[in-house]
Amino acid sequence: MLEEIGKVKLDYSKYSGEDLYCDGAVEDELLDIVKNLSPVEYAGVIEERKSWPILYHLSPLRENIVDWIPIKKSDKVLEVGSGCGALTGLFSRKAGSVTCVELSKKRSMINAYRHSQCDNVAIHVGNFKDIEPELPKDFDYICLIGVFEYGQSYIGGDRPYRDFLDILLPHLGEGGRIVIAIENKYGMKYFAGCKEDHLGTYFSGIENYAAGGCVRTFGRRGLEKIFRSCKIPEYHFYYPYPDYKFMTTLYSDAYLPGKGELSNNMCNFDRDRMALFDEKNAFDGVVEEGLFSLFSNSYVVVLGKGFDIKYVKYSNDRAPEYAIRTEISRDSQGEVSVRKYPLTEAAKEHVKGMALAYENLTDKYKGSELEINKCTLEEREDGLFAQFEFVPGVPLSELMDKCLEKDDLEGFYRYFRQYVEKIGYNSDYPVTDFDLIFANILVHKDTWTLIDYEWTFGKTMDTRELAFRAIYCYLLEDEKRNKLNLDQILEELQITQEDAENFREQERGFQKFVTGSRLAMAEMRENIGNRIIVPQRWMDKYQDSERVNRVQVYEDKGRGYSEEESYFVQEAYQGENLIELELKVSGDVRMLRIDPAMETCMVKILELTLNGEAIPLDQKKVVKINGKTAKPGSYVFPTEDPNINIAMTELKRSAENTLHAQMEIVRLPHGMARDMAGALKHIRLF
């Protein structure tokens, strides 16, 4: 009933003998990986396999969601639903002991092999309800990360989520906390076109799970209702962005996002998604209205006392030597601090370099109108960190955005010229902050402060290059900024197109320098290959097709063609590229004109008969067109009013006639149609 894999203990005393939850062959693949490879090799495997489950279960970025929590070595952690151990290693490193509960034996084995060197991890395999009575009652943290939504499956009954918490609460020691990470069923990404994470269908949570199922996520109000029903006296909401699976930023009610910050929204790796609207713009509006807490894609909720930490940003989608965490904290006395921690041993030198950068940049800009945010190095119980002053102000990028929103280009350029002047001070000094982007400068009244100078190098650099990089990054972040005339900015900076391309190439090199040999998460998403589907394009194409893909017929009964006496043939298009029509034509019609589309196109007549007799396409006196003939029956029309004219007087007809036509049609871009028609002038094909 007991097994040891390395130093990890597994308890099967409550295991039913069958894994009731399994992801199939990928779990065998994961087990093989963790048995035969070390964790440092996982990154290469993730990039090689290009698989969402491999990325999800093995990526170290999964740890971000709990890494910020100040767990101490004296703490005991209960991890319910530990799965393949994406978070178990982090808990093991931070806590004194980790007790895992997991329904699946296969997943528990993956976890154990993965963390076989951890001597403080025990895994109970089986149903939580069976294991729970034997668990101790002195845990400092009980963690439900992506688990609470399965309460119906774990607990059952009429009120599974309330009962789940009621069962867990007695297992907390004095001052203990329950930590829940869960999707918000009203998260912005679901409105914008991401499928519901568990069911894989569109709008399931938004529609209140009308189709049923055992998984339930909640909005903020729904979670609060459950907490109140459990008489939980204190709880705190945090907002992981873009969601809790691969969180890069954590906000809180004490530190909410500002306008323009929420731009990393193509963040789902598991499935195709739609893009129904621009989530960044929608988030901007939500932020302005103070509604972000209702539309955050995910929640982390701490049941119990909150933490001093109010904001966290992870920069660990990088080479290990540059992986850091930025925190903003406010203690009970209201003291605010900003700290940057190294996330790897290799990154310690990078953090130490920030203090040196502060000294060098302070010397460079001494006497200028650009302040440098003060930085000191500290080393305490929680490790080495760089501490910065918390500076009030508005990001320069936000001030520039406001100018663009009001079409105040003069105001925008006034800020831009001030920026160029301030950063160009003492430009011969052999120190340069390469990352002097607008978002890294806070403006408070007349004071401009550089708050982030992580990428400072001991060399001079052309001010024009720094300014170009700032505007280049600014434009890439938001399509609304494209109203700026880049050529005018290049002229302002006296930068040639060749210079600009060289600067872009240098930027690509810098990004590769930061990420090292690793792929960034955006590149991983591309490699996994799920599509982003834009329904608006389909709608535009459909509406365009309705306008363009119409067949109009004119009859000349001796007075010429007239719009008033023309008509459109209903349902002539049999799909996008095939026209089929049958017309009743009276005997007094002298000329019949068929317009196959309202756009430049190429047409091939497959069949054209009158009363069952083929109409001779090679006789120009019978069939006349306003395009160019490739060969009889195949025509290029470099006009938006293509027409095929049939001389009815040249054909055998009666008082009532039936004309049948079948044509293939391909719409052509205007330029291509003109080129093809021009070429046909010089080529004799028949």
Domain extent listing, the chain: 394-528, 541-682
pLDDT of residue 380: 85
pLDDT of residue 540: 63
On the CB side of 565, CA atoms within 13 Å amount to 12
pLDDT of residue 412: 96
pLDDT of residue 543: 63
pLDDT of residue 11: 97
Alpha carbon 209 to chain centroid, angstroms: 24
pLDDT of residue 35: 96
pLDDT of residue 7: 97
Helix (H) or strand (E) holding 455: none
DSSP type of residue 73: T
Q: Which amino acid is at 667?
A: R
DSSP type of residue 515: H
pLDDT of residue 167: 97
Distance between CA atoms of residues 635 and 573, nearest Å: 18
Distance between CA atoms of residues 245 and 516, nearest Å: 23
pLDDT of residue 202: 95
**Residue 276: exposure state from Cβ atoms within 10 A (0-12, 13-18, ≥19):** middle
Place of tokens 């006034």: 414
Spatial contact of 630 and 680, defined as CB atoms under 8 Å apart: yes
pLDDT of residue 563: 86
Q: Has this prediction a pTM greater than 0.75?
A: yes
List Cβ neighbours of 557 (8 Å cut-off, separation of 6 or more).
588, 589, 590
DSSP type of residue 483: G
pLDDT of residue 544: 66
pLDDT of residue 681: 60
Number of helices (H), then strands (E), belonging to the chain: the values are 22, 34
Cα separations in angstroms, 402 against 307, 477, 481: 34, 15, 11
Distance between CA atoms of residues 516 and 532, nearest Å: 27
Alpha carbon 251 to chain centroid, angstroms: 18
Distance between CA atoms of residues 50 and 543, nearest Å: 37
List Cβ neighbours of 414 (8 Å cut-off, separation of 6 or more).
none
What residues in the chain have per-residue pLDDT under 50?
A: 682-686
Distance between CA atoms of residues 517 and 319, nearest Å: 7
DSSP type of residue 234: -
List Cβ neighbours of 70 (8 Å cut-off, separation of 6 or more).
307, 309, 382
List Cβ neighbours of 243 (8 Å cut-off, separation of 6 or more).
183, 187, 189, 267, 297, 298
pLDDT of residue 542: 63
Place of tokens 């400072």: 456
